[in-house]
Chains A and B, each alone.
Chain A
């Protein structure tokens, strides 16, 4: 078994962090557009947001060569390595350093966002606070979705060093974020926890569909930018990754959900399956790009 420097735990984190931040974006934008109408949708997004990111961060920490030194990315020990004078560790030219701070801030912000989401049910004043916190969280969430693409594209790895990788990852983040909200909403409808009125599920299905178009454009761009190089051929044409790319990511993860979602039929059981396909496609995108760069 080949040992990868960055293996499945990292691919999992790239996927989970993007999903959480994407769900957060859906929650905030829905809330800003119409607080009343999207109360449930926005609350679902808010309640999803931090957990995948926390899980992803834990995976990253465990995957470190020295897990208990994760704090070396947060605090810098003073001269002579005395623990008495730590100060903030931040390396502006390191996307890894930026990323670890962005993730940290996002986790706390999105946890606070859950707090105000719950508060906004009994207290009307919390609604404004929720909007403010949401708007403050947007750039952080956006940074979470972008940094992973920058992180691996700013390397000497020919597969990863692709200018459009950040775009492909950003679009995939919002796609999986919207799909995760649709999944939970569909599950809640099946369980009878939310009423059928308001047609929120078709709305989310169509949103996912529209975002998938953006991701398809970005994915085509990603291929075109690297076309002709051996690197992209590993992703799209090798026996190991080609089928996974075309069937898993493009076919089942994007085209099938696109065709289904654009109509927005709002059938909860179908929506569960389609959302799962989108999420699997999102994971495989990270997996294929990450591993194909290391074979």
Chain B
């Protein structure tokens, strides 16, 4: 399905300092309106992805008590966005064909076709697409496909000041990740590349400091919910047929045993 010219983003969380330049660049390039938000006691803002926020730096706080956190505040940063799965549940689930996977692996929603059934919202293992009440369609990161087509990098990547975001062919990104992981290993770390194999290989991969995706609010071993559909159908068909047969036999049965026959 995807040609070898697959493009990918490498998100190196070990280099992210939470400046949110990527968030702003995304809003600017895609002309997404800002949202009014409230201070909920976290630096993560807006609180979650939405139809108008396609990427968001997660400010994940370590599991320590509040006092300790105030004394020594530290966060795990993760740039959340569409991960452009190699085997995308949303594309499997879309009934209109609005969700498309390009040959370079970019998954996008054709806004002229999406009817707003929200099935992609429900099947995505990462909670990426969001319905936009204004347009009635689902929206999500599309890896700045217009920029990519013109040979440019996605807006968020150009804004990143630390090199935490890199974009190129997926092969090049895998090589780069391997190089960085080798350096981290040399320094005594045990890094993990999330997305190398997951869901057909992700089009946005995370270089994590260790093999602990849950720490970064990522599902370990994410599953494609739209697979094993046949088995799900069978689990309905078999009892369904049994019930139909039972009904038929029941209607054939003489009801001589019904003493109340005709009575009311």
Distance in angstroms from A73 CB to nearest chain B CB is 5
A39 located at the interface, meaning its Cβ lies under 8 Å from any Cβ of chain B in the complex: no
A285 located at the interface, meaning its Cβ lies under 8 Å from any Cβ of chain B in the complex: no
Chain B residues contacting A91 (CB-CB under 8 Å) are 92, 94-95, 97
A117 to B132 alpha-carbon distance, docked (Å):
45
Distance in angstroms from B115 CB to nearest chain A CB is 4
Distance in angstroms from B137 CB to nearest chain A CB is 6
Distance in angstroms from B124 CB to nearest chain A CB is 6
Q: Which residue of B lies closest to A146 (CB)?
A: B236
Q: Which residue of the partner chain, among B122, B133, B264, contacts A196 with CB atoms under 8 Å?
A: B264
Q: Contact: B97 with A66, CB < 8 Å?
A: no
- Report the interface size for chain B: residues with CB under 8 A from the other chain: 58
A279 located at the interface, meaning its Cβ lies under 8 Å from any Cβ of chain B in the complex: no
Chain A residues contacting B161 (CB-CB under 8 Å) are none
Q: Contact: A93 with B226, CB < 8 Å?
A: yes
Q: Contact: A154 with B226, CB < 8 Å?
A: yes
A124 located at the interface, meaning its Cβ lies under 8 Å from any Cβ of chain B in the complex: no
A99-143 interface with B by 8 A CB criterion: 99-100, 138, 142
Q: Contact: B116 with A66, CB < 8 Å?
A: yes
Given A66-B114, A152-B122, A156-B225; A146-B237 close (CB under 8 Å):
yes
Given A64-B117, A196-B262, A207-B250; A100-B95 close (CB under 8 Å):
yes
Given A77-B113, A214-B243, A218-B239; A155-B137 close (CB under 8 Å):
no
Given A89-B96, A210-B250; A266-B125 close (CB under 8 Å):
no
A157 to B113 alpha-carbon distance, docked (Å):
25
Q: Contact: B95 with A96, CB < 8 Å?
A: yes
Chain A residues contacting B244 (CB-CB under 8 Å) are 25, 29, 138, 142
A150 located at the interface, meaning its Cβ lies under 8 Å from any Cβ of chain B in the complex: yes
Chain A residues contacting B119 (CB-CB under 8 Å) are 94, 96, 151, 155
A29 to B263 alpha-carbon distance, docked (Å):
25
Given A64-B115, A65-B131, A266-B264; A72-B252 close (CB under 8 Å):
no
Q: Contact: A170 with B240, CB < 8 Å?
A: yes
B145 located at the interface, meaning its Cβ lies under 8 Å from any Cβ of chain A in the complex: no
Q: Contact: A145 with B236, CB < 8 Å?
A: yes
A251 located at the interface, meaning its Cβ lies under 8 Å from any Cβ of chain B in the complex: no
Distance in angstroms from B255 CB to nearest chain A CB is 6
Total residue contacts A-B, CB cutoff 8 A = 195
Q: Contact: A5 with B239, CB < 8 Å?
A: no
A166-182 interface with B by 8 A CB criterion: 166-167, 169-171, 174
Report the contact-size class of chain A (Cβ under 8 Å from the partner): 35 or more
Distance in angstroms from B120 CB to nearest chain A CB is 9
Chain A residues contacting B176 (CB-CB under 8 Å) are none
Q: Contact: B135 with A29, CB < 8 Å?
A: no
Q: Contact: B240 with A157, CB < 8 Å?
A: no
A240 located at the interface, meaning its Cβ lies under 8 Å from any Cβ of chain B in the complex: no
Q: Which of A197-205, A227-235, A252-260 contacts B (4 or more CB under 8 A)?
A: A197-205
A151 to B252 alpha-carbon distance, docked (Å):
34
Q: Contact: B114 with A38, CB < 8 Å?
A: no
A248 located at the interface, meaning its Cβ lies under 8 Å from any Cβ of chain B in the complex: no
Chain A residues contacting B243 (CB-CB under 8 Å) are 170-171, 174, 211, 214
A40 located at the interface, meaning its Cβ lies under 8 Å from any Cβ of chain B in the complex: no
Distance in angstroms from A272 CB to nearest chain B CB is 13
Q: Contact: B236 with A169, CB < 8 Å?
A: yes
Chain A residues contacting B132 (CB-CB under 8 Å) are 65
Q: Contact: B229 with A170, CB < 8 Å?
A: no
Q: Contact: A146 with B229, CB < 8 Å?
A: no
Distance in angstroms from B215 CB to nearest chain A CB is 20
A72 to B110 alpha-carbon distance, docked (Å):
12
A19 located at the interface, meaning its Cβ lies under 8 Å from any Cβ of chain B in the complex: no
B115-174 interface with A by 8 A CB criterion: 115-119, 121-125, 127, 131-133, 135-138
Q: Which residue of B lies closest to A61 (CB)?
A: B115
Q: Which residue of the partner chain, among A65, A93, A163, contacts B229 with CB atoms under 8 Å?
A: A93
B37 located at the interface, meaning its Cβ lies under 8 Å from any Cβ of chain A in the complex: no
Given A189-B264, A202-B258; A154-B96 close (CB under 8 Å):
no
A56 located at the interface, meaning its Cβ lies under 8 Å from any Cβ of chain B in the complex: no
Chain A residues contacting B223 (CB-CB under 8 Å) are 156
Chain B residues contacting A169 (CB-CB under 8 Å) are 236
A145 to B243 alpha-carbon distance, docked (Å):
12
Chain A residues contacting B136 (CB-CB under 8 Å) are 64-66
Q: Contact: B252 with A142, CB < 8 Å?
A: no
Can you give 5 A-B contacts (C-beta < 8 A)? A65-B118, A65-B138, A100-B95, A207-B250, A264-B258
10 residue pairs, one from A and one from B, having the closest CB atoms: A65-B116, A65-B136, A33-B251, A146-B236, A166-B236, A69-B115, A97-B95, A72-B96, A96-B95, A199-B261
| Chain B residues in the interface with A (C-beta under 8 A) | 89, 92-98, 112-119, 121-125, 127, 131-133, 135-138, 223, 225-226, 228-229, 232-233, 235-237, 239-241, 243-244, 246-252, 255, 258, 260-264
